[in-house]
């Protein structure tokens, strides 16, 4: 049998080789597991369903996306969905189940009883709301698995069409629920993928045992491996190459391969609407609220921003910096006054800042763009900022002539070590005259929040003169 294995492999960006199984190979492995290797169907469904629930919990927080519809279909794939619903309930989500092919036999009847004991509601196809977007945050597609072939029959065809239609937004600000497909996006050909191009476009795919050939056509942002039960002998026989499971995790993320089409890798925004009622009178107050949200969400380096400047000829340059302070007087950062950005600011004091917070609470994507004029902070402020830095950072500010060409890095290290020894007694490190702060005084601030179909929310504050006073005027912009 080993010489008939035709699993294809891809090399991902992080050098992890990924193999793909054909439909025939996937069926053979399932028969091996439930045959000579001694696994029961309910054991496999339990492990697979748990891995699906674990994958969902890796990406979506129950506090933000609690309403889950699990659509269960024929056979084992439907059983995986039932198990996933049970675990999602225990993980803090609020699942509902639409069981399209309820089978009056074990282990399926036992799974239904378990869900009923948790007061998980069961919905018929007729009970499903017309607009799934209003009622659910996540939809789990557990309809068809590796045994599927041919055109779906009723009622499966109708529900698959409804899920596929969620990819086609109606140019409103409605958000679509995230779709999670179990092993195979229902309606896809196991080996060839979405042949007609009109099928479900899931946001997450949880491949079980190993990805199938159709997974090469998956363009969503989240691809996970589940089913942590494959014996080494089976993995060797079918040349299964997949990412390792870490620790006690029941799922592993599969990274994009190097030849994936970048244009097809699109993030699905499901942020709540940023309504005009949410707009504050003062943009600095609104910025501080969004910055606080980013800090509380645990995003890495939430105070980082891109500073863009231009010289007297209009040639631009950008770099990432750290925000030191923000108040009604402006946005403050620290730097070397002989750096490129400092030279450009001296020639052209107009600059812009860009803050970006991606995946806030897993779902919300925000950016803030600030335009204004820049001036140096006072010597007193610069002294305070400088001596508030760690001693090593103070020494580095003296040693480094920022943006100049260096002959050898070891010379910088040598100068650093000499100064470190000089001030090892704890004496005050003097601030160099060419080091200090800048403050950008904003005259335009734009807030952006991602929404489905790229119909994002944008609100722009600009300073206008009214009765001799500068006041903030707010406009909503087209995305």
Q: 173-224, pLDDT tens digit by residue?
A: 445 799 999 999 999 999 999 888 888 999 999 999 999 999 999 988 899 9
Most confident segment among 5-19, 219-233, 259-273, 451-465: 219-233
pLDDT at 31 over 90: yes
Provide the mean pLDDT of the chain.
Answer: 87
Q: What's the pLDDT at 169?
A: 43
Confirm whether residue 15 is marked as ligand binding: no
Q: What's the pLDDT at 262?
A: 47
Confirm whether residue 131 is marked as ligand binding: no
Confirm whether residue 64 is marked as ligand binding: no
CA–CA dist 38, 462 (Å, integer): 69
pLDDT band of residue 403 (cuts 50, 70, 90) is confident
pLDDT at 282 over 50: yes
pLDDT band of residue 466 (cuts 50, 70, 90) is confident
Does 276-380+434-477 carry CATH code 2.30.110.10? yes
Confirm whether residue 141 is marked as ligand binding: yes
Confirm whether residue 135 is marked as ligand binding: no
Where does CATH 2.30.110.10 sit in the chain? 276-380+434-477
Which tens digit of pLDDT belongs to each residue from 215-249?
Answer: 999 988 899 999 899 999 999 999 999 888 988 99
Q: What's the pLDDT at 12?
A: 45
Active site residues: 454
Exposure string of 430-457, with b = 16+ CB inside 10 Å and e = fewer, is ebbeebbbbbbebbebbbbbbbbbeebb
Which tens digit of pLDDT belongs to each residue from 140-164?
Answer: 999 988 877 767 777 788 888 889 8
pLDDT band of residue 453 (cuts 50, 70, 90) is low
3-state SS of the chain is: CHHHCCCEEEEECCCCEEEEECHHHHHHHHHHHHCCCCCCHHHHHHHHHHHHHHHHHHHCCCCCCCEEEEEECCHHHHHHHHHHHHHHHHCCCEEEEEECCCCCCCCHHHHHHHHHHCCCCECCHHHCCCCHHHHCCEEEEECCCCCCCCCCCCCHHHHHHHHHHCCCCCCCCCCCCEEEEECCCCCCECCCECCCCCCCCCCEEEEECCCEHHHHHCCCCEEEEECCCCCHHHHHHCCCCCCCCCCCCCEEECCCECCCCHHHCCCCCCCCCCCHHHCCCCHHHHHHHHHHHHHHCCCCCCCEEEEEEECCCCCEEEEEEECCEEECCEEEEEEECCCHHHHHHHHCCEEEEEEEEEEECCCEEEEEEEEEEEEECCHHHHHHHHHCCCHHHHHHHHHCCCCCCCCCHHHHHHHHHHHHHHCCCCCCCCCCCCEEEEEEEEEEEEEEECCHHHCCEEEEEEEEEECCEEEEEEEEECC
Confirm whether residue 167 is marked as ligand binding: no
Residue % of the chain over a pLDDT of 90: 56
Which tens digit of pLDDT belongs to each residue from 101-145?
Answer: 766 777 888 999 999 999 999 999 999 998 888 899 999 999 988
pLDDT band of residue 345 (cuts 50, 70, 90) is very high
Where does CATH 3.40.50.10260 sit in the chain? 2-264
Of residues 196 and 393, more confidence is placed in 393
pLDDT at 6 over 60: no
Confirm whether residue 261 is marked as ligand binding: no
Q: What's the pLDDT at 137?
A: 93
Most confident segment among 4-8, 202-206, 417-421: 202-206
Residue range 316-323: mean pLDDT, rounded: 96
Q: What's the pLDDT at 209?
A: 92
How far is it between the farthest Cα atoms of the chain? 87
Both tokens assigned to 378: 């006072």
Residue range 461-473: mean pLDDT, rounded: 90
Of residues 353 and 476, more confidence is placed in 353
CA–CA dist 17, 5 (Å, integer): 17
Q: Which residue has the tokens 């722009």?
A: 460
Give the angle 135-139-141 at the CA atoms, nearest 5°: 145
Residue % of the chain over a pLDDT of 70: 88
Residues in the chain: 479
pLDDT at 171 over 50: no
Q: Which fold has domain 2-264?
A: Rossmann fold (3.40.50)
Which residues are registered as beta bridge partners of 460?
446, 475
Weakest mean pLDDT among 35-39, 75-79, 270-274: 270-274
pLDDT at 7 over 60: no
Confirm whether residue 187 is marked as ligand binding: no
pLDDT band of residue 388 (cuts 50, 70, 90) is confident
The packing angle between helices 75-90 and 41-59, to 10°, is 50
pLDDT band of residue 273 (cuts 50, 70, 90) is low
Confirm whether residue 110 is marked as ligand binding: no
Confirm whether residue 277 is marked as ligand binding: no
Confirm whether residue 151 is marked as ligand binding: yes
Answer yes or no: pTM beyond 0.85: no
Q: What's the pLDDT at 400?
A: 86
Confirm whether residue 314 is marked as ligand binding: no
pLDDT band of residue 267 (cuts 50, 70, 90) is low
Q: What's the pLDDT at 166?
A: 84
Of residues 299 and 305, more confidence is placed in 305
Number of CB atoms found within 10 A of residue 156's CB: 21
Confirm whether residue 411 is marked as ligand binding: no
């Amino acid at each position: 049998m080993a010489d008939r294995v035709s699993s294809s492999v891809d090399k991902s960006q992080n050098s992890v080789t990924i193999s793909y199984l054909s439909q025939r190979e996937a069926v053979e492995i399932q028969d091996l597991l439930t045959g000579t290797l001694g696994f029961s169907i309910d054991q496999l469904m339990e492990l697979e369903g748990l891995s699906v629930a674990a994958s969902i919990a890796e990406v979506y927080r129950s506090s933000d996306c609690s309403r889950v519809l699990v659509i269960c279909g024929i056979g084992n794939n439907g059983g995986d969905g039932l198990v996933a619903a049970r675990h999602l309930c225990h993980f803090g989500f609020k699942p509902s189940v639409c069981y399209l092919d309820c089978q009056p036999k074990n282990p399926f009847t036992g799974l239904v009883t378990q869900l009923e004991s948790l007061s998980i509601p069961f919905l018929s196809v007729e009970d499903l709301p017309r607009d799934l977007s209003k009622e659910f945050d996540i939809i789990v597609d557990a309809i068809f698995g590796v045994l599927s072939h041919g055109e779906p029959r009723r009622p499966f065809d109708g529900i698959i069409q409804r899920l596929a239609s969620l990819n086609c937004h109606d140019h409103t600000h409605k958000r679509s629920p995230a779709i999670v497909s179990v092993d195979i996006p229902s309606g896809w050909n196991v080996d060839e993928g979405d042949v007609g191009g009109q099928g479900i476009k899931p946001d997450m795919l949880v491949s079980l045992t190993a990805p199938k050939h159709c997974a090469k056509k998956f363009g969503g942002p989240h691809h996970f491996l589940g089913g942590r039960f494959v014996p080494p002998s089976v993995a060797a026989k079918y040349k299964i190459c997949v990412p390792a499971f870490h620790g006690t995790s029941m799922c592993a993320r599969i990274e994009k391969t190097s030849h994936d089409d970048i244009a097809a890798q699109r993030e699905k925004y499901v942020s709540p609407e940023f309504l005009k009622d949410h707009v504050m009178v003062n943009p600095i107050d609104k910025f501080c609220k969004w910055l606080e949200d980013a800090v509380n969400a645990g995003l890495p380096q939430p105070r980082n921003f891109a500073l863009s400047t231009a010289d007297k000829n209009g040639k631009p340059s950008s770099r990432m910096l750290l925000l030191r302070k923000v108040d009604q007087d402006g946005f403050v950062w620290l730097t070397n006054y002989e750096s490129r950005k400092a030279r450009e600011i001296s020639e052209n004091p107009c600059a812009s800042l860009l803050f970006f917070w991606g995946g806030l609470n897993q779902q919300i994507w925000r950016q803030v763009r600030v335009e204004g004029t820049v001036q140096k902070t006072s010597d007193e402020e610069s002294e305070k900022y400088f001596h508030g830095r760690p001693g090593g950072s103070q020494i580095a500010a003296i040693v480094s002539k920022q943006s100049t060409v260096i002959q050898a890095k070891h010379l910088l290290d040598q100068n650093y070590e000499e100064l470190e020894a000089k001030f090892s007694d704890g004496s005050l490190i003097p601030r160099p005259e060419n080091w200090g702060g800048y403050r950008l005084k904003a005259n335009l601030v734009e807030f952006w929040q991602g929404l489905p179909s790229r119909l994002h929310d944008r609100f722009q504050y600009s300073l206008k003169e009214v009765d001799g006073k500068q006041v903030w005027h707010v406009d909503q912009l087209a995305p």
